[in-house]
């Protein structure tokens, strides 16, 4: 189950890079706090590990912790977006703590597992929570993970698409295992982020 | 990562003080003095002080960046100066700003008492920590890091204790995932371990330490990864305050039973003549204590039965009733704690 690739050679496995974090946000270099929500076992952290490892940029400083990751994505229009990804614990007993994490987030990814109807119900709960308590302009994505296990699918993509449309989210099915749609997911979020208006 | 006690961070701080003593820095030094003086005239309030201190940090940052003494300084050197400033100011203001109100002191006691009870019965599986991550050695290091929190007075050094604790957990997660070729589960595993470590550590004045760091760590530095891990510790505290049966996967009645016997256990260990310290350190000392007490509390131990007057017999009967009632209660308490009475007695005799 999950993401089956080895750790990158340059992984320090620690909180090495905690100084000098104040890279200024300007119109070409954006920074966004992205929160990950979803039941435990749906592969939240696999999606992020896939994304972080998939970027090939020897100059970028990648911070790999177990639950906080940051990665910079370069877009075609030559803007860069630095994602600071906050993972949350998905078990029911920790659900009440989630608001501490999504407060101030500019983007949220709600993940479920396409082979688990239960995880989709949980995802709908998170979507509702974000609608109620999240910031108004938060970019939200609904993600059906484990798309490679389509023969065991219990959540139809049409149903999920409808739920996403209803809540003004974009929807994508991914496979952290085969890396399908992983980059597209983050690129789409990056494109949708509000650009700061350049000083006139 | 730099440890708060490392030579490097000490050099930073003394470097800052040295620079501040130079004649060119007289203006900056005056600003600091006058800020501290003006603050001392205000009614202490952690939140209001936080706002004033943050504004002063921002003001001083601009002043230092534009100052001739730092004209050729690198970004890092300026940062060191600002760390020095934070440490200097917050050490001066520590007594005023740390545990600033009776409410804070009460909140600290509440968290600490709660943890004291949870320590007695919460096990890793109650929090969804998989067996493969049970690593007492790593956990102990993380516990020790968190317990160092009161050894420092500056927000950055306190924050470093929290970060080191989180780093130990992260290293454990990464090592386990690499050696077992196992998918790391991110926060699903990180947060439960952090909560368990917090319960094991019962860090001193947890509420006040978190509040102090949130209010007085330079705002520009409380971002990204540092903010993430601080948020995790805040949520660990929140989990502990609101803990109930459901959050530990047990029936509420079972949870209440655990809490009651834990309370009983705590009371027994803080009150009563036979404190656990007495048991642990020297049973011989305990015996002496019992003998001495026997003189005053049990005055008939050495009396001959035929010499007792009717009045003394009445007194003896009263004492007997009290002793039996007390013994019955103690037996009941021991059973609640699942302690075998005979084994306990045997352990006291083994001297």
Q: What CATH number was assigned to the domain covering residues B7-97?
A: 1.10.246.120
Cβ <8 Å between A13 and B235? no
Taking the C-alpha atoms of residue B67 and residue B72, their distance in angstroms, rounded to an integer, is: 10
* ipTM of the complex in this document: 0.87
Range with the lowest mean pLDDT among B24-38, B91-105, B174-188?
A: B174-188
Q: Give residue A177's pLDDT.
A: 86
Q: Give residue B257's pLDDT.
A: 95
Q: Give residue A149's pLDDT.
A: 94
Which one of B187, B197, B210 would you mutate to disrupt binding with A, by most A Cβ within 10 Å of its Cβ? B187
Range with the lowest mean pLDDT among A5-9, B43-47, B187-191, B234-238?
A: A5-9
Q: Between residues A37 and B338, which one has the greater pLDDT?
A: A37
Contacts of B167 in chain A (CB under 8 A): 14-15
Q: What is the pLDDT along chain A (200 residues), one digit of tens a residue?
A: 446 444 343 433 344 333 333 344 677 899 999 999 999 989 998 899 889 887 655 455 555 667 999 999 999 888 999 999 999 999 999 999 999 999 999 999 999 999 999 999 999 999 999 999 988 899 999 999 999 999 999 999 999 999 999 999 999 999 988 889 999 999 999 999 998 776 65
Nearest to A127 by CA among A116, A138, A117, A115: A138
Can you tell me whether residue B2 is helix, strand or coil? coil
Q: What does the block give as tokens for B342?
A: 């005979």
Q: Give residue B5's pLDDT.
A: 53
Chain A nearest-CA residue for B77: A20
Q: Give residue B4's pLDDT.
A: 52
Mean predicted confidence (pLDDT) in B180-192: 88
Q: Which of A3, A36, A65 lies closest to B225 in CB terms? A: A65
For chain B, domain boundaries? 7-97, 102-253, 274-349
With contact defined as beta carbons under 8 Å apart, do B125 and B248 qualify?
no
Cβ <8 Å between A68 and B225? yes
pLDDT tens for each residue of B191-236: 999 999 999 999 999 999 999 999 999 999 999 999 999 999 999 9
Domains B7-97 and B102-253 share a fold: no
Q: Give residue B120's pLDDT.
A: 94
Residues 59-98 in A contacting B (C-alpha not used; CB under 8 Å): 63, 65-68, 70, 84, 86-91, 93-94, 96-97
Q: Give residue B37's pLDDT.
A: 97
Taking the C-alpha atoms of residue B182 and residue B189, their distance in angstroms, rounded to an integer, is: 13
For chain A, domain boundaries? 30-192
Cβ <8 Å between B223 and A13? no
pTM attached to this predicted model:
0.81
Q: What does the block give as tokens for A194?
A: 């509000």
With contact defined as beta carbons under 8 Å apart, do B104 and B212 qualify?
no
Q: Give residue B301's pLDDT.
A: 76
Residue B71 pLDDT greater than 50, yes or no: yes
Contacts of B178 in chain A (CB under 8 A): 7
Range with the lowest mean pLDDT among A102-111, B92-101, B122-131, B303-312?
A: B303-312
Q: Which of A45, A68, A84 lies closest to B185 in CB terms? A: A45
Burial B79-117 (b: 16+ CB within 10 A, else e): bbbbbbbbbbbbebbeeebbbbeeebeebbeebbebbbb
Cβ <8 Å between A66 and B231? no
Mean pLDDT of chain B: 87
Chain B nearest-CA residue for A96: B239
Q: Give residue B227's pLDDT.
A: 97
Q: Give residue A12's pLDDT.
A: 39
Taking the C-alpha atoms of residue B319 and residue B300, their distance in angstroms, rounded to an integer, is: 10
Is the CATH code 3.90.180.10 the one for domain A30-192?
no
Q: Between residues B265 and B38, which one has the greater pLDDT?
A: B38
Q: Which of A15, A46, A96 lies closest to B163 in CB terms? A: A15
Q: What CATH number was assigned to the domain covering residues B102-253?
A: 1.20.1050.80
Q: Give residue B111's pLDDT.
A: 97
Chain B nearest-CA residue for A37: B187
Cβ <8 Å between A97 and B239? yes
Range with the lowest mean pLDDT among A33-42, A91-100, B12-21, B337-346?
A: B337-346
Residue B291 pLDDT greater than 80, yes or no: no
pLDDT tens for each residue of B107-118: 999 999 999 999
């Amino acid at each position: 189950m999950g993401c089956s690739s080895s750790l990158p050679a340059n992984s320090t496995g620690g909180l090495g890079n905690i100084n000098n974090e104040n890279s200024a946000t300007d119109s070409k270099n954006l920074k966004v706090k992205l929160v990950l929500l979803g039941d435990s076992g749906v592969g939240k952290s696999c999606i992020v590990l896939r994304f972080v490892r998939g970027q090939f940029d020897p100059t970028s400083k990648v911070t790999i912790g177990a639950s906080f990751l940051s990665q910079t994505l370069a877009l075609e229009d030559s803007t860069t977006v630095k994602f600071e990804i906050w993972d949350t614990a998905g078990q029911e007993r920790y659900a009440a703590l989630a608001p501490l994490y999504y407060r101030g987030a500019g983007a949220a990814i709600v993940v479920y597992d396409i082979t688990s109807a239960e995880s989709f119900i949980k995802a709908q709960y998170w979507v509702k929570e974000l609608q109620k308590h999240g910031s108004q302009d938060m970019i939200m994505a609904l993600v059906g993970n484990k798309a490679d296990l389509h023969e065991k699918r219990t959540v139809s993509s049409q149903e999920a698409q409808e739920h996403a449309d209803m809540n003004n989210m974009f929807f994508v099915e991914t496979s952290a295992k085969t890396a399908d749609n992983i980059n597209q997911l983050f690129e789409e979020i990056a494109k949708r982020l509000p650009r700061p208006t350049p000083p006139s | 990562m730099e440890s708060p006690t490392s030579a490097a961070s000490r050099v930073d701080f003394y470097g800052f003080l040295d620079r501040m003593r130079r004649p060119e820095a007289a203006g900056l030094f005056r600003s600091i003095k006058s800020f501290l003086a003006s603050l001392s005239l205000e009614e202490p309030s952690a939140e209001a002080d936080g706002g004033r201190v943050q504004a002063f940090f921002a003001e001083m940052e601009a002043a230092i960046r534009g100052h001739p003494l730092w004209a050729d300084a690198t970004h890092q050197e300026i940062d060191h100066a600002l760390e020095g400033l934070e440490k200097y100011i917050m050490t001066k203001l520590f007594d005023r700003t740390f545990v600033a109100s009776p409410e804070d002191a009460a909140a600290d006691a509440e968290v600490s008492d709660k943890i004291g009870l949870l320590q007695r019965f919460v096990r890793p599986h109650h929090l969804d920590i998989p067996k493969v991550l049970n690593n007492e050695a790593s956990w102990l290091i993380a516990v020790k890091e968190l317990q160092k929190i009161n050894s420092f007075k500056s927000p950055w050094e306190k924050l470093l204790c929290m970060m080191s604790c989180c780093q130990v957990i992260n290293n454990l997660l990464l090592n386990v995932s690499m050696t077992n070729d196992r998918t790391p589960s991110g926060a699903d595993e990180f947060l439960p371990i952090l909560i368990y470590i917090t319960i094991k550590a019962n860090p001193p004045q947890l509420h006040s330490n978190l509040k102090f760091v949130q209010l007085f760590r330079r705002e520009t530095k409380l971002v990204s990864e540092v903010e993430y891990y601080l948020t995790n510790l805040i949520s660990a505290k929140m989990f502990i305050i609101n803990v109930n049966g459901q959050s530990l996967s047990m029936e509420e009645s079972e949870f209440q039973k655990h809490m009651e016997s834990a309370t009983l256990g705590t009371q027994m260990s803080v009150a009563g003549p036979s404190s656990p310290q007495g048991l642990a350190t020297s049973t011989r000392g305990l015996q002496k204590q019992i003998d001495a007490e026997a003189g005053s509390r049990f005055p008939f131990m050495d009396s001959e039965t035929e010499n007792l007057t009717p009045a003394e017999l009445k007194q003896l009967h009263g004492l007997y009733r009290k002793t039996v009632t007390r013994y019955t209660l103690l037996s009941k308490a021991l059973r609640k704690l699942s302690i075998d009475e005979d084994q306990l007695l045997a352990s006291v005799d083994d001297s």
